[in-house]
A and B are shown apart, each in its own frame.
Chain A
Amino acid sequence: MIDFTPTQEQQALIDLVRRFVREEIVPLEADLDPDASELRPEDAARLEAKVRALGLYGMDVPEEFGGAGLDVMTRTLLAFEMTQHRGGLYAPCYGVFGGAGLAQLYDASDDQKERYLYPMLRGEKHGYFGLSEPSGGSDPARAIRTRAVKDGDDWIINGSKLWISGADKADFGVVFTRTGEGRDGITAFIVDSDTPGFQVRRVVHTMRSTHYATELSFDDARVSDRNRLGEVGKGFALANGRLSAQRIPYAAQCIGVAEVAHRMAVEYSKLRETFGQPLAARQGIQWMLVENEIDLRSARLLVLQAAAKADAGEPFRTEAAVAKIVATEGAGRVVDRAMQIHGGLGVSKELPLERWYRELRIRRIGEGPTEVQKLIIARDLLGRVAG
């Protein structure tokens, strides 16, 4: 039997982050718009300084690059906690713990690290991940149509990207282009945002009110070969390399907000009376809460199992895919039931439930939709015959 009891060190970190969320983050949300995903600049700066003093800034950054270098299990346990506030799903602690930035740059050349990775880690430069296109994002080996053609010491890029987050604020992007056929025909480039021919064409609004996507276009954008990231034709591996590991904390974040929603539903069902009895006395409500409990416990265990396998250095692609499916689908159901129990209050902006409901719906699509995760699992089960 696998024991998922946190170590003493992990428990201390969990307690610390839990207290940070309750004492530093939640009180600030009372004055923010219910859909806000940014703190006031002075609050963000103050809290970031606190996090740095705690030694937890950059927890997704490898130790060799100055980050906290947490293992997947610890990172997952903290993801459960960091999301337990209104803006937590897409803005855990409003970013004051820092982000990983573009993980593909960890594999960049020394020159590229100097020009892009280190400034990004210092917060001086921002980058975007330019993979998805109007033709699709789940199957980049086939869907990428943006072309890069060699021209002397440069490459000329033409095409468009869609669903790209943060490109409008970025100084550069890691852009995946087609330089050949199939899986071995994808090459990545670092494209500066002031490159002539590049533009952020428009904002794409989604169910999230504050995090929008953008559409980008590249019209004869000339990029030096010095900005090619990795080898020609090896962009697909670069794009996919860290995806499975990222899915584990991604799944844990969904469980974090769903746990708060469930706690709210349990509490409310004991307080709210209808027809002379608290809601909690009704079997219909009890069963909804029990189903929440089942969804949460099963998702939590599967996410922890995936994290344990990843840290053990064992293959964990199937485990990560299973965790992603169970956590995103289950968390959506939990929040949906919590809204139902809260009645009209549940769909109002007085409570965070409606925000989580909208945002969790996106999670079933982001980082590879449920159906693509099933494809991954089927391939591992059945091999080539699965397609």
Chain B
Amino acid sequence: MNAAHGLAIRGAWHPATETALSTLPATLGVFEIADSSGQIQLIGYAGGRSLFGLRSTLATALADNSSIGLKFRVEQNMQYISRWKELLMLHFSQHGTLPPLNSAEDGVGLGRLGPAIQGDLP
């Protein structure tokens, strides 16, 4: 079997609107932001130093980027760093790159899922 077995976020996609953001829990967790075609643009996490967890972290991430037409999905998770890395590895195993809005630093020391996947990481 060639596919990596990391699990994607299972939650539903929400449009990047103020209303959708305001209903988010202020908890720790991971999130993905995608464009209207579903291409993931950014994988991030709300960590222990975030002011209002997923709610404020996602609001900041969406404010940093042009959020028109973007959508997001979240997963509450106490293991937010290892889960974040898993999602990055999963994305890398499927696309050979990190999402375009993730920084190069996010890929430093990132592991690989699956068999000898080729691609460039810092």
Contact = CB atoms under 8 A, between A and B. Distances in A.
A204 B108 CA distance: 20
B112 A168 contact: yes
B114 A36 contact: no
B85 interface: yes
Interface in B9-52: 47-49
B47 A200 contact: no
B82 A209 contact: yes
Contacts, number: 84
Given A199-B115, A202-B4, A34 B49 contact: yes
Contacts of A9: none
B79 A209 contact: yes
A168 to B, nearest CB: 3
B109 interface: yes
A35 interface: yes
A34 B82 contact: no
B112 A33 contact: no
Interface in A202-232: 202-203, 205-212, 214-215
Nearest to B90: A203
Contacts of B47: 33-35
B89 A203 contact: yes
Given A33-B47, A33-B48, A194-B116, A205 B83 contact: yes
A212 B58 CA distance: 25
Given A33-B81, A36-B81, A41-B105, A203 B113 contact: yes
A198 B82 CA distance: 22
A349 interface: yes
A315 interface: no
B81 A168 contact: no
B96 interface: no
Nearest to A349: B48
A113 interface: no
Contact of B81 (A35, A41, A167, A207): A35
B81 A202 contact: no
B82 A203 contact: yes
Interface string B85-122: 11001000000000000000100111111111000000
A197 B114 CA distance: 10
B5 A202 contact: yes
30 contacts: A33-B49, A34-B47, A35-B47, A35-B80, A35-B81, A36-B81, A40-B105, A41-B105, A166-B111, A167-B111, A168-B89, A168-B113, A169-B109, A169-B110, A194-B116, A196-B116, A199-B4, A199-B113, A199-B114, A200-B112, A201-B5, A201-B113, A202-B4, A202-B113, A205-B83, A208-B82, A209-B79, A211-B82, A212-B86, A349-B48
Interface of B: 4-7, 47-49, 78-83, 85-86, 89, 105, 108-116
Q: Which 7 A-B pairs have the closest CB atoms?
A: A168-B111, A34-B48, A349-B48, A199-B115, A212-B82, A202-B5, A33-B47
